[in-house]
Amino acid sequence: MAPKTIIEDNIDILVAGAGLGGTGAAFEARYWGQDKKIVIAEKANIDRSGAVAQGLYAINCYMGTRFGENNPEDHVRYARIDLMGMVREDLLFDMARHVDSTVHNFEKWGLPIMRDEDSGTYLREGRWQIMIHGESYKPIVAEAAKKSADKVFNRVCITHLLMDEAKDNRIAGAVGFNVRTGNFHVFKSKTVVCGAGGASNIFKPRSTGEGAGRVWYAPWSSGSAYALMINAGAKMTQMENRIVLARFKDGFGPVGAYFLHLKTYTQNGVGEEYESKWFPELTEMVGKEYLDTEASHLTHRPIPTCLRNHALINEVNAGRGPIHMVTMHSFQDPHLEEIGWHNFLGMTVSQAVLWAATDIDPKNENPELTTSEPYVMGSHATGCGAWCSGPEDVSPPEYQWGYNRMMTIEGLFGAGDAVGGTPHAFSSGSFTEGRLAAKAACKYIDDGKGENIKVTSATLEKLKKEIFKPMEHYKLYRNEIVAGSVNPHYHNPRQFLDRLQKLMDEYCAGLTVNYMTNEKLLNIGLKKLAIMEEDLEKIAAEDLHELLRAWEVKHRHRTSECVMQHTLFRKETRWPGYYYRGDVMKLDDENWHVLTVSRRDPETGQYTMEKAPLYHLEDVKVESVGEDEPVETVAAE
């Protein structure tokens, strides 16, 4: 049966992917655009889609200005330190100054936030994290989005963004297919908020076989946000800045609450503290500006996440593994023990299953920690994503060319993992970014910027053919073989995924090579990715489920290519513990205190790389010189 074409026309705001960022956008758009047409297209079901599908036990980004706890600039400085300087401080400040209102709204909607009984403040896990009973976090925010949206298309996988054919470099909507019906869906829209999330499973995972789905970031995080934007020709930033997580072994259970709230700590296989002994060598690599253990000790300045990974990786390589999380002390307190279990059940059920299966009672035994394979996402301790315009009252000229959170394509906005340079946004910050993007998108429409978009039927026909080609290809060649999955004319999506993961692992600093790469390896990797792209024309899908997997692996492939290009471009080792450029093992501020920005030309497939200046938030010191002539000088921190 030929796929039906279903056209949804005259949309004002299309939300492509409704996780935390997308639901925030759909919700807020209704306020600024009460008469506007708001539509959500989501590949799963928004009640349980995205990285928060199974819930969260903490909101990791909350200032608490209301309780006199932090100001937005404090959070910006923290993110800056953690990311070795490489952040978009305008966007971060903007997110941080609004994030509390998001959290206060969540509380009104019924999200159970724990309180400190004595002080009446929210119960803190750490300086930025508050504790919640968040099993239903996603359905609660989805409910808000559903109330605001005109229509929600669940199970529609977006494959391409649509570009306007009337005006250059302007968005016109998106296309995709319904994973259940096999219909071809066209969304013609004046603006698009891309919220399709980050990427797991592009590097070979630690888990194997049946357990391959046990990745830290959700296995359905297909890098679609990145691929959609890159393919449309949007500029990307910091795509080399992948993240490696130190987590409980095999289950990838969270450690934040364990470290911060339960006061557990790590030690090596022989029971010693091991981190500090790696710090002198690290200070040599990255400079005293980025790792000054004395200053850290005195001022409680945090040690960057990547550098702590570095210590763990090297300690294990030195033969003193495994690294243990010392839980035996804390867990003697029944209250803390209960929190420890809730923490897993609320956000990583598998860790509880694993301890039950292996009889690990953290009261009597210290569980193992290990580092994960790398992930490409932009809202945790990493800042991959699109190069976006910032708010007019904060951003310097290089960071501001239009509407807040608008990319380098007119009318295309983003939120959450999609937005580059904004680490440590987490769930609440991603939702907040969606709200900011939605307000800006409404303004764009009200200013008449989205009028008369044009998409020709020839374009749509071409895309439709491309989308369903994997199924056609399968039909064409399936019967040339008796049975099974080995066919000289095609690979199936799983086979391509394995190929991509192996390639990224070996050439782009994955886990089996101890996160190491160099210029030579990266160039070979790029060649192999190019050949893989040719082969991806011959991907075969047996059914609609496989068609979904086919588009996911295509999106992962494009994301990977961009990561490889960026890793090649930045000739330094900025984040030891995330990855190493073996040919340049030092951090180099003289040449690389910049943000990396790329653009892939959609016509030629060629990448252009550039360096963008880095701005930092500084305190303004007002010194009075003359009678009434205050002069602004910038104080050192």
Span 288-327, contacts to ligand FAD by CB under 6 A: none
Residue 321 vs 346, nearer CB to ligand FAD: 346
Span 575-634, contacts to other proteins by CB under 8 A: 589, 593, 613-620, 622, 632, 634
Give the other-Cβ count within 10 Å of 119's Cβ. Answer: 10
List the structure tokens of 210.
């049946």
48 binds, among ligand FAD, other proteins, none (CB under 5 to 8 A by kind): other proteins
* Positions of E strands within 195-237: 236-237
294 binds, among other proteins, ligand FAD, none (CB under 5 to 8 A by kind): none
CA distance 187 to 175: 6
End-to-end alpha carbon distance in the chain = 66
358 binds, among ligand FAD, other proteins, none (CB under 5 to 8 A by kind): other proteins
Residue 471 vs 568, nearer CB to ligand FAD: 471
Per-residue interface string for the shown chain with other proteins, residues 428-467, x marking contact by CB under 8 A: ----x--xx--x---x--x---------------------
Q: Which helix (H) or strand (E) holds 227?
A: helix 224-232
CA distance 124 to 68: 13
Span 10-39, contacts to ligand FAD by CB under 6 A: 16-22
b (16+ CB within 10 A) / e for 296-311: eeeeeeebbbbbbbbb
Determine how β-strand 385-386 pairs with β-strand 236-237.
antiparallel
Give the other-Cβ count within 10 Å of 594's Cβ. Answer: 15
Site size toward other proteins (CB under 8 A) is 105
Which one-letter DSSP state was computed for residue 60? -
User: In this chain, which of 55, 251, 411, 416 binds ligand FAD, going by CB under 6 A?
Assistant: 416
Beta sheet of 323-326, edge-to-edge order: 246-248, 368-371, 323-326, 265-267
List the structure tokens of 574.
């900025």
Span 374-403, contacts to ligand FAD by CB under 6 A: 379-380
User: In this chain, which of 52, 175, 352, 532 binds ligand FAD, going by CB under 6 A?
Assistant: 52
Per-residue interface string for the shown chain with ligand FAD, residues 172-211, x marking contact by CB under 6 A: -----------------------xxx--------------
Span 154-173, contacts to ligand FAD by CB under 6 A: 157-158
Give the other-Cβ count within 10 Å of 363's Cβ. Answer: 15
- In a 3-state reduction of DSSP, which class is residue 450? coil
User: In this chain, which of 8, 12, 82, 89 binds other proteins, going by CB under 8 A?
Assistant: 89
List the structure tokens of 117.
């009984």
Residue 427 as a binder of ligand FAD (CB under 6 A): the answer is yes
354 binds, among ligand FAD, other proteins, none (CB under 5 to 8 A by kind): other proteins
Residues 6+ apart with CB under 8 A from 328: 362, 363, 364, 365, 366
Residue 328 vs 349, nearer CB to other proteins: 349
Q: Which helix (H) or strand (E) holds 460?
A: helix 457-478
Three-state SS string over 414-432 comes to: ECHHHECCCCCCHHHHHHH
Site size toward ligand FAD (CB under 6 A) is 43
Span 519-558, contacts to other proteins by CB under 8 A: 545, 548
Q: How far is the CB of 184 from other proteins (least distance, A)?
A: 18
Q: Which residues bind ligand FAD (CB under 6 A)?
A: 16-22, 41-44, 49-52, 56, 58-61, 157-158, 195-197, 216-218, 220-222, 224, 254, 347-348, 379-380, 416-417, 426-428, 430
